[in-house]
Chain A
Amino acid sequence: MANYSILLTSGPYHGDAALRVKSFIDGVLENGDTVDNVFFYGEGVHHCNHFAVQSGDEFYPYDYWIQLFASQHTSLLVCITAAIKRGVVSGDEAKENGIDGANLVAPFQQAGLGEFFSALHNCDRLVQF
């Protein structure tokens, strides 16, 4: 049984990347393998924006991450540096900076590269989308 870490550096509407990562993770789980964590980095942090609204019948990645967490308890780690400069902020930062709303909420959790690299020690495979 292999343990996977997923590195997401593409945004939610970057071509079909979000659909491919969904298919990949579903396949990993079907095989009986596990996904330890998903690390949202670079443009990937836009996946975690709670203010993004579903449009028509398009695949809505946000819901997928919520479902993944609910069923697998996969850690959804969001790079704090990459997120705050793109306007994806938690309640704490919103308060600190006088911003009206927070768009980063549980089960997504803020993390640094350090947490990702520490978790990587327990992962057999790292796959980037």
Chain B
Amino acid sequence: MASLLICFTQTPYGSTTAQEGLDFALAATNFGHAVSVLFKDDGVFQLVKSASIKGVKNHSKRLASMPFFDIESCFVCQISATQRGVNVNDVMDAIDATFVTAAQQIELISSSDHVVTF
């Protein structure tokens, strides 16, 4: 079993990257890996609840399912969030996110076996 840190750095609907990154994260725990997620840069926008549009998968609803896939460790880059005006109250209720400093992120990265970025 490996520990994976998956970083989300893109907006939820700007490209399919966020969607494919989430698919990646949800599959990892199914196959015996421990997953932590870190939202940083434009990725912090994924945490804001979004309305459903026909023909587009609702990213925030899918993101809210993370705890059912045993993804409990959810971190948010404090600097990225502040720069983009995203605060604790903007984060969906379904997600229990911990805001972290740059130093704490370095700690997260060094304590994980593998780091991937979407």
**A-contacting residues, B1-38, CB 8 Å:** 1-2, 4, 16-17, 20, 23-24, 27-28, 30-33
**A117 adjacent to chain B (CB < 8 Å):** yes
Q: Which residues of the partner chain A approach B98 to less than 8 Å between Cβ atoms?
A: none
Most B CB contacts (10 A, CB to CB) among A7, A117, A121 go to A117
Contact between B116 and A42, CB atoms less than 8 A apart: no
Q: With the chains together, A112 CA to B30 CA distance in Å?
A: 12
Q: With the chains together, A111 CA to B88 CA distance in Å?
A: 39
Contact between A42 and B20, CB atoms less than 8 A apart: yes
How many residues of B sit at the interface, in one of the four size bands?
Answer: 10 to 19
Given A117-B33, A120-B33, verify A9-B28 contact (CB < 8 Å).
no
Given A7-B116, A42-B20, A121-B2, verify A114-B33 contact (CB < 8 Å).
no
Q: With the chains together, A120 CA to B32 CA distance in Å?
A: 10
Contacts A7-B116, A113-B31, A117-B27 supplied; 16 other A-B pairs, CB < 8 Å: A9-B20, A42-B20, A42-B118, A81-B23, A82-B20, A113-B24, A114-B30, A117-B28, A120-B2, A120-B31, A120-B33, A120-B114, A121-B1, A125-B114, A126-B2, A126-B113
Interface set of A (CB-CB < 8 Å, partner B)? 7, 9, 41-42, 81-82, 112-114, 117-118, 120-121, 125-126, 128
